[in-house]
Structure 1
Amino acid sequence: MIVNKIKNLRPVFLTTVVIPTLLAALYFGLLASDVYISESRFIVRSPDKPAPTGFGVLLKGASLAGAGEEIYAAQDYVASRDALQALNKDGAFTRAYGTTAVSFFDRFNAGGFHPTFEDLYKYYEKKVSVAHDTTSSIVTLTVRAFTPRDAQHFNEQLLEMAEATVNKLNDRGRQDLIRFASREVDDAKAKSQAAALALSAYRNQAGVVDPEKQATVQIQMISKLQDELIATRTQLLELRAFAPQNPQVEVLVTRARGLSGEIDEQLGLVAGSQKSLSSRAAQYQRLALESQFADKQLASAMTSLEEARNEARRKQAYVERIVQPNLPDDALEPRRLRGIISTFILGIVAWGVISMLIAGVLEHKD
């Protein structure tokens, strides 16, 4: 009786509705494997980065903010080939999704061929998904597997990889920040040492410690000699006026001549020749200025290094788990009844459209 009714159905209805619905019922009812979904949620926090709107405002109130760059880095890594390669270490992922316990239509490499890594990655993209809510900065990691344990296990592994990615970025950022500051300190130390050595070498070569201070001492000495010379000449004038035959006249003349020569010699040491203190002062001041400038650069670089270390501590970003990877106790997919009904409805729609087209063609032909 049923066979006769099926025979009486129009071929179009049979093709678009009956057969697809029967195949859907066969697949969803008998062939499709149960799919278990494990879900976890996490957020990447950083103490000093600006927080977004929404949930991030609450985090900002606690002096913690979402670290946007690290979030996207963790998200991209979980969805990358590197994550799959780490997840499939010793073939763990391939064994879990390629076992014969899984339906032929659902398992990986059901045909028994030699699949490439790209084939595995395409399959991986269908089983692992990462969603980032930009409002709350919460990342949701979802893993689909054919056993509850596999779903939870792979979700936990991927979550640990995300944490390791954030930690690696943190370490690299801190190391780069401190390394650049340390390099500046090393360069400043080298310049300061070179400037100090150049100044010391010039002092040894020129035989001076500080031309300005030495010139001050020399000028004071010349001033005393000039005072003594004036006193001698005054005494000499008095003797020549009142006692020109006094034997002290010659003594005072000789003394005045000696004081005058000594004054000229001391003036020559201060200025007037290439070996004078004044000519040496210009080179000395240039070297001293370079040494002072190098010392200031070194002090500034050391301050920058300390600030870089403090900044590196403040830039610490970390993953905080909001929802741990759950162990599913029921298969949420496939949605068998909905799949069958959807196939039936789509078949009805296709049958109606095709029937109308055929009726229009036949009417036009008549």
Structure 2
Amino acid sequence: MRSITNKGLVISYIAIVIIPLLLIIIYLNFFAQERYVSQSTLLVKQVGEVSNVSASNGLSTLLGVSNTNSEDAHILTAYISSRNMIESLDKKLNLRKAFIVQHDPVFSLSSDASIEDVVEYFSKRVKVDLDEKTMMLTISSQGFTSGFALLLNQEILKNSESFINDLSQQIAEEQLKFAEKQLNEAKKQLDISRDTLLEYQNRNQMFDPQAQAQAIATVVASLESNLAQLRTEERTLLSYLNPEAAQVVAIRSQIESVQKQIVDEKAKLTSPNTSKLNRSVADFEALKANVEFSTDLYKLSLASLEKARLEASRKLKKLVVISTPELAQDALYPRTLYLIATYFLVLNILFGIAMLIYSIIREHKE
């Protein structure tokens, strides 16, 4: 009974471990296609940025650039694996043809692959490693020939550079458009406020109501001073003449005339009539303040536009290729020994699990 059990174990081990492992070895050695790898390292640099780079930054110091922020690096990482990138590469390199090989259904792309399948397959053949400390990107591209692996990596770099340039240019243009829009709106508001002020001056036929009001106030002050002098003269005459004397009557007539003139001049400044100078001065000052505010806003918008232009030129980004892709001499994939050892361990684990399950079932039956 024991010999039968041992024989069964051997048969099971052969069926679960040896035969699948032999099939894997045969496939890896006779059917699996070799894959070559080409690598490049790059960094996103801000063109106009002047930063204090410490000596500990190593290569960044030698390049004279500062490490770009993580946002740029992560955006580029996502773009490299995006469908837009893959469709662009497919048009230039015909990825379907390059990734399809005969007699290798495991590592080859299916002949009837959809664009989603190509995207998934591409993500397995092109790896992007981001160093979170230096923000450098290492791009590893695989190909069934060393020439295609190199060409694929070079095209990825070209597309990445175009993407970064277009992205930074688009951001700069949007900033400039916004600043120009603000400037145009400020200029339009300034023109409207100026035209309103000019129209008010022409309609009321006065250049500056405030100056005219000051002139009238000066006239009133002069008349009141003259009135005080006349009243003094009147009191002096009454001290030695009768009220009906010709001289007294004449001075009183002058006093009445000056008083009437004072009332008339003051009426030009203030009265319930809305056409008087006090209302005109208030309206004029409001219009003038609006012009001054619009002028200040225009100056601020003009300064903002110049600042936006400067910032746009300083914030343009470019791709710095630190390590260019090279033509591979030896194939790195498939890693035959590593895969055989891995599958051997996995198959043995599966065999152990199967035997454990079989033992538990047999114990329950007994």
Query: Which residue does 2:268 correspond to in 1?
Result: 269
Give the whole-Å Cα distance in 2 for the aligned partners of 1:80 and 1:145: 19
Q: Residue 127 of structure 2 contacts residue 141 of structure 2 at CA under 8 Å; is this kept in 1? A: yes
Aligned-residue CA RMSD (Å): 3.7
Give the whole-Å Cα distance in 1 for the aligned partners of 2:62 and 2:180: 32
Q: Residue 32 of structure 1 contacts residue 103 of structure 1 at CA under 8 Å; is this kept in 2? A: yes
Q: Deviations over 1:61-115 (max 9, x none)?
A: 9662322222111111111111111110166111211254x734432225xxx43
Q: 1:350 to 1:228 in 2, by over 3 A?
A: closer
Q: 1:285 to 1:341 in 2, by over 3 A?
A: closer
Q: Residue 50 of structure 1 contacts residue 65 of structure 1 at CA under 8 Å; is this kept in 2? A: no
2:105 equivalent to 1:107: no
Q: Deviations over 1:239-298 (max 9, x none)?
A: 886799999888767666554444333232233352332231111112112221222222
Q: Secondary structure of the residue that 1:319 maps to in structure 2? A: strand
Give the whole-Å Cα distance in 2 for the aligned partners of 1:169 and 1:10: 64
Q: Residue 49 of structure 1 contacts residue 65 of structure 1 at CA under 8 Å; is this kept in 2? A: no
Q: Secondary structure of the residue that 1:171 maps to in structure 2? A: helix
Match for 2:18: what amino acid? Answer: V
For normalisation by structure 2, the TM-score amounts to 0.82
List runs of 5+ in structure 1 lacking aligned partners. 1-6
Give the whole-Å Cα distance in 1 for the aligned partners of 2:59 and 2:109: 44
Q: Deviations over 1:184-212 (max 9, x none)?
A: 22222122221112222222222222222
Match for 2:287: what amino acid? Answer: L
Of stretches 142-151 and 288-297 in structure 1, the one that deviates more from structure 2 is: 288-297
Match for 1:73: what amino acid? Answer: I
Shift of 1:24: 1.8
Query: Which residue does 1:334 correspond to in 2?
Result: 334
Shift of 1:143: 1.0
Q: 1:345 to 1:361 in 2, by over 3 A?
A: same
Aligned length: 355
Q: Residue 241 of structure 2 contacts residue 248 of structure 2 at CA under 8 Å; is this kept in 1? A: no
Give the whole-Å Cα distance in 2 for the aligned partners of 1:13 and 1:237: 143
Query: Which residue does 2:3 correspond to in 1?
Result: none
Query: Which residue does 2:176 correspond to in 1?
Result: 178
Match for 1:38: what amino acid? Answer: S
Of stretches 326-335 and 166-175 in structure 1, the one that deviates more from structure 2 is: 166-175
For normalisation by structure 1, the TM-score amounts to 0.82
2:88 equivalent to 1:86: yes
List runs of 5+ in structure 2 lacking aligned partners. 1-6
Query: Which residue does 2:313 correspond to in 1?
Result: 313
Query: Which residue does 1:156 correspond to in 2?
Result: 154
Give the whole-Å Cα distance in 2 for the aligned partners of 1:150 and 1:259: 107
Shift of 1:231: 5.3
Q: 1:92 to 1:117 in 2, by over 3 A?
A: same
